[in-house]
């Protein structure tokens, strides 16, 4: 057996462990009875320790060393490069730190839930202080060149740095803040009164959104849609992709756009090549690129006029209490309502990134020691006022709202905004190649757009780093230009500004 075959055999076994965890995680959120929790966390911990010991096996290190000095194909090299990253991350941290982080995480998560429901930041404060300390230690072990935050960004978006993000984000902010202000002040606000007339049944919402997912190209013979409190997309591999949604009978768009979002994640997973299954070449490249797929289908497609030109009749047939004179224009404007608000997950496409920037600024300052955890509530509120013009009435609706910090996921938030920027850049490139895509969407044909994403993004797996993949697909460096252009052109029309 060659070194490469030995290496790939080990990598595929690691991937099987990942598939098992994926299925158990899905089951935990959708099917598991409440009393199953204790055994489930033991099962998950067992799999994770199995994966860790296999990844850190000295033989894996020897194989990587040997393969790095051999002549490999581009695909083989990509697999070696990606596993080297994981191996280094897994071996650089001392076992005591890994254990301490795991112990701290479960306690911190629990205290955060209490603190959030009791609006008591002081209760969470010592836990967040400890999280920041452990995160900084982790970053030091991983290593970085310029900024300690780079080591954290790299965990979620390989290759991303503060020096790339700062100009990207500040340029975006300078364009969005005045746009949002003009939208808020416009007298031409959307009419959403059709939403107040009656209930949107869960069953009909399910039927309608599944139809949309299927038309986009999600293969229900290789995937499922179920219900969970927090929607997500996971599964075992390209032929077993599972996403979830939730229903609100007062408001049908939460489910619809949630489903279109997860369908974007799901079609990416289903579009990974089966020949590379179980290796990095057959895996999604980063959270930012993943989010580009979900945000593109949710916003650029789902919130377009063309989408509603095709779907309005079906929507009205599904929900027969809707006024018969409800037209495309009213629907299109209603689903593009922009309103600065306090809660990130409920925010619209135009203000969403400002919420992310508040978190980005805080994380960057925290790990660089420029602010203390105790300063967070005030810092949060003043940034919300500066960026969005709103001030939270309490910490539950402010600094305590997100789960990420309680889980130690510092460095994760920027991937959401990167996803939005990448989505606009990819969509613009697809339109440049095929200007008829919107006309096709207006006829309910999504294949041209999905095929473009398949050939430019999905089939490449983790062959290139995220920024290089984007460059190859669009011919440009990651930039906020296309996103800003997209927002301006859409909202100046909708709000007549
Ligand atoms: Zn997503």
What is the model's pLDDT at position 57?
96
pLDDT of residue 402: 95
Percent of the chain past pLDDT 90, that is, above it, reads: 95
**Residue 99: pLDDT band by 50, 70, 90 thresholds?**
confident
- pLDDT score, position 103: 86
Print burial letters for 183-213: b (CB count within 10 Å at least 16), e (below 16).
Answer: beeeeeebeeebeeeeebeeebbbebbbebb
Q: Residue range 222-234: average pLDDT?
A: 95
pLDDT given at position 422: 98
Q: How far is the CA of 293 from the centre of ligand 1 (A)?
A: 8
Buried residues in 136-165 as b, exposed as e (16+ CB within 10 A): bebbeebebeebbbbbbbbbbbbebbbebb
- The pLDDT of residue 19 is 96
Active-site residue among 29, 82, 262, 349? Answer: 262
**Is 243 strand, coil or helix?**
strand
CA distances to 52, 134, 155, 176, 404 from 98, rounded to whole Å, are: 10, 9, 15, 40, 18
pLDDT for the residue numbered 275? 96
Place of tokens 């746009």: 179
Give residue 359's pLDDT band: very low, low, confident or very high (50, 70, 90). very high
Q: Can you name the residues that pair with 234 across neighbouring β-strands? A: 242
The residues placing their C-beta within 5 Å of ligand 1, an ion, are 294
**Separation of alpha carbons 222 and 242, rounded Å:** 9
In whole angstroms, how far apart are CA 12 and each of 279, 285, 373? Answer: 6, 17, 41
Confidence band, pLDDT 50/70/90 cuts, at residue 230: confident
- Cα 252 to ligand 1 centre (Å): 19
- Ligand 1 centroid vs 229 CA: distance in angstroms? 15
The rounded Å distance from CA 452 to ligand 1 centre is 20
Contact 425, 479 (CB under 8 A): yes
Residue 453 in this model has a pLDDT that exceeds 90: yes
Helices of type H across 217-251:
none
Q: What is the mean pLDDT of residues 432-449?
A: 98
Smallest CA-to-CA distance from 86 within 5, 165, 7 is with: 7
Neighbours of 414 (CB within 10 A): 27
Pull the structure tokens for residue 231. Answer: 């929607």
Closest of 241, 206, 202 to residue 224, by C-alpha: 241
**pLDDT confidence bin for 390, thresholds 50/70/90:** very high
CA–CA separation, 295 and 357 (whole Å): 18
Q: Verify whether residue 262 is a known catalytic residue.
A: yes
pLDDT in tens, 38-51: 899 889 889 988 99
CA of 422 from ligand 1 middle (Å) equals 13
Domains and CATH numbers, the chain: 3-143 (no CATH), 162-494 (1.10.1370.30)
**Confidence band (pLDDT; 50, 70, 90) for 486?**
very high
DSSP string, 94-134: -HHHHHHHHHHHHHHHHHHHHHHHHT-HHHHHHHHHHHHHH
CA 18 to CA 51: how far, in whole Å? 8
Percent of the residues in the chain that have a pLDDT greater than 70, as a whole number: 100
Position 489 scores a pLDDT of 96
Determine the distance separating the centroid of ligand 1 and the alpha carbon of 226, expressed in angstroms.
Answer: 16
For residue range 264-319, list pLDDT tens digits in order.
999 999 999 999 999 999 999 999 999 999 999 999 999 999 999 999 999 999 99
- What is the CA(261)–ligand 1 centre distance, in A? 6
Ligand 1 center–CA 231 separation, angstroms? 9
Per-residue model confidence as pLDDT tens digits over 164-216 = 999 999 999 999 999 999 999 999 999 999 999 999 999 999 999 999 999 99
Query: How far apart, in whole angstroms, are the C-alpha atoms of residue 492 and residue 497?
Result: 5
How far apart are the C-alpha atoms of 211 and 220, rounded to whole Å? 11
CA of 263 to the centre of ligand 1 (A): 10
Tell me the CA–centroid distance for residue 353 and ligand 1, in Å: 14
Q: What is the mean pLDDT of residues 134-149?
A: 97
- pLDDT (0 to 100) of residue 428: 98
């Amino acid at each position: 057996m060659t070194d490469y075959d030995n290496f790939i055999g080990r990598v595929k076994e690691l991937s099987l462990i990942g598939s098992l965890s994926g299925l158990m995680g899905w089951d935990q959120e959708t099917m598991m009875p409440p009393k199953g929790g204790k055994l489930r966390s033991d099962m998950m911990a067992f799999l994770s320790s199995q994966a860790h010991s296999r990844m850190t096996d000295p033989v894996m290190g020897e194989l990587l060393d040997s393969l790095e000095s051999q002549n490999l194909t581009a695909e083989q090299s990509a697999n070696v490069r990606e596993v080297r990253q994981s191996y280094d991350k897994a071996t650089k941290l001392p076992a005591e730190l890994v254990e301490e982080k795991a112990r701290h995480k479960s306690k911190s998560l629990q205290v955060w839930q209490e603190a959030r429901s009791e609006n008591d930041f002081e209760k969470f404060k010592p836990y967040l202080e400890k999280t920041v300390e452990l995160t900084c230690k982790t970053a030091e072990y991983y290593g970085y060149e310029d900024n300690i935050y780079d080591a954290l960004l790299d965990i979620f978006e390989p290759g991303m740095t503060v020096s790339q993000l700062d100009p990207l984000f500040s340029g975006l902010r300078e364009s969005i803040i005045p746009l949002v202000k003009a939208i808020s002040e416009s007298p031409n606000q959307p009419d959403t009164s059709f939403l107040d007339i009656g209930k949107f049944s869960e069953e009909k919402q399910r039927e309608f959104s599944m139809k949309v997912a299927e038309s986009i190209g999600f293969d229900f013979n290789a995937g499922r849609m179920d219900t969970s409190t927090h929607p997500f997309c996971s599964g075992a591999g390209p032929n077993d992709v599972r996403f979830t949604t939730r229903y609100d009978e007062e408001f049908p768009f939460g489910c619809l756009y949630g489903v279109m979002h997860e369908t974007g994640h799901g079609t990416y997973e289903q579009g990974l090549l089966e020949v590379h299954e179980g290796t990095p070449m057959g895996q999604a490249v980063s959270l930012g690129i993943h989010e580009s797929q979900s945000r593109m289908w949710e916003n650029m497609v789902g919130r377009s006029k063309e989408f509603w030109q095709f779907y309005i009749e079906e929507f009205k047939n599904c929900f027969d209490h809707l006024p018969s004179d409800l037209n495309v224009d009213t629907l299109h404007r209603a689903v593009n309502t922009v309103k600065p608000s306090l809660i990130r997950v409920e925010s619209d496409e135009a203000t969403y990134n400002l919420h992310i920037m508040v978190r980005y600024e805080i994380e960057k300052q925290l790990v660089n020691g420029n602010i203390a955890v105790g300063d967070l509530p005030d810092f949060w509120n003043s940034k919300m006022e500066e960026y969005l013009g709103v001030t939270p009435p309490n910490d539950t609706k402010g600094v305590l709202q997100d789960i990420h910090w309680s889980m130690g996921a510092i460095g994760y938030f920027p991937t959401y905004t990167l996803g939005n920027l990448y989505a606009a850049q990819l969509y613009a490139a697809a339109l440049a190649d095929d200007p008829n895509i919107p006309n096709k969407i207006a006829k309910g044909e999504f294949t041209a757009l999905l095929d473009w994403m398949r050939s430019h993004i999905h089939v490449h797996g983790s062959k290139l780093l995220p920024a290089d993949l984007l460059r190859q697909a669009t011919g440009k460096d990651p930039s906020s230009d296309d996103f800003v252009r997209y927002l301006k052109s859409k909202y100046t029309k909708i709000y007549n500004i």
